[in-house]
Structure 1
Amino acid sequence: MASRDEVWFDDAAGPLVRPYALTRGRTRDNRYGLDLVTLVVSVRPEVHERIVEPEYADVLWVCEHPLSIAEVAAKIDLPLCVVKVMLADLIEVDYVIYRTGWQPVRNAPDMDTMQKVLDGIRKL
């Protein structure tokens, strides 16, 4: 039996709440196509931090200036998949805005143009 003086946890043990408890067990949230290089920035973190849970408020303050999702995860020391779910929740309520790192190809050259370029290269 443990004595009253025995300390069963310390600061080095880490947080007492498991990261997945923050997201209610959700590990994936792909509503917005978030990836490692998606840029996120919070909208008025000083207002919204009073409304959300403390961990979400930390995300809002870290995102005060545009950062990639990978940078956010590193700064708040949480797994990437947890941070993506948290950010998706914040995007849902318009506390965070985002921009994906890729843009779809709109005006790709047609096959005829590509063939002419290839023929020109071969002639060099």
Structure 2
Amino acid sequence: MNVTSHKEGPWLDDAAGRLIRPYTVSGGRTKPSTTLDLLSMVMATGSIPQAHMGPEHSLALGLCDGPTSVAEIAAHLRLPAVVTKVLLSDLVDCGALTARAPRFHANPTDRSLLEAVLDGLRQRL
């Protein structure tokens, strides 16, 4: 069994996949206390959480040096979006992150936005 380091992802095994269930990561919670959608942007405030947070919280916070979307953080953490939203809302609640809704919220099907997303995906693949 080859378990990856924390730098590569939270407790992953090459053959078995994730070793800790997402339910455990979020403490069984399925609803974030902060309203976030996949395109919400979060960013670290520089404040260190006073309460003890799990390793996934630390990993998520480390990904937020600049404005980063919830979807991107979920992908990096290899967690379902709902679990990522719970983790991020914990960090917002303790003041470690700020969150803002996407700017195009009035027209989420704007063609130029969709083309920009497609171009970004093509660059990553």
For the superposition of Structure 1 and Structure 2, which TM-score range results when normalised by the shorter chain?
A: 0.5 to 0.7
The change in CA–CA distance for 1:101 and 1:11 in structure 2 (over 3 A counts) is same
In structure 1, the gaps of 5 or more residues are 1-6, 106-124
Q: State the alpha-carbon separation in 2 of the partners of residues 15 and 44 from structure 1.
A: 29
> Structure 1 counterpart of 2:84, which letter?
V
CA deviation after TM superposition for structure 1 residue 32, in Å: 2.5
Give the TM-score normalised by the residue count of structure 1. 0.65
Any idea what SS the aligned residue of 1:12 has? coil
CA displacement, residues 9-47 of structure 1 (integer Å, 9 cap, x when unaligned): 953212321111011111122x322101100011227x5
Q: State the alpha-carbon separation in 2 of the partners of residues 104 and 36 from structure 1.
A: 12
Greater helix share, structure number: 1
In structure 2, the gaps of 5 or more residues are 4-12, 107-125
Percent sequence identity over aligned pairs: 37
What is the aligned partner in structure 1 of residue 60 from structure 2?
59
Q: Give the 4+ runs in structure 1 shifted more than 3 A.
A: 102-105
CA deviation after TM superposition for structure 1 residue 65, in Å: 1.5
The change in CA–CA distance for 1:104 and 1:58 in structure 2 (over 3 A counts) is closer
Once the two structures are superposed, the pairs formed by residues 1-124 of structure 1 within 5 Å of their partners are 11-29=14-32, 31-44=33-46, 47-48=48-49, 51-102=52-103
How many residues of Structure 1 are paired with residues of Structure 2 in the alignment? Answer: 96
Q: State the alpha-carbon separation in 2 of the partners of residues 73 and 60 from structure 1.
A: 12
Q: State the alpha-carbon separation in 2 of the partners of residues 17 and 77 from structure 1.
A: 12
The structure with the larger Rg is: 1
RMSD across aligned positions (CA)? 2.7
Give the TM-score normalised by the residue count of structure 2. 0.65
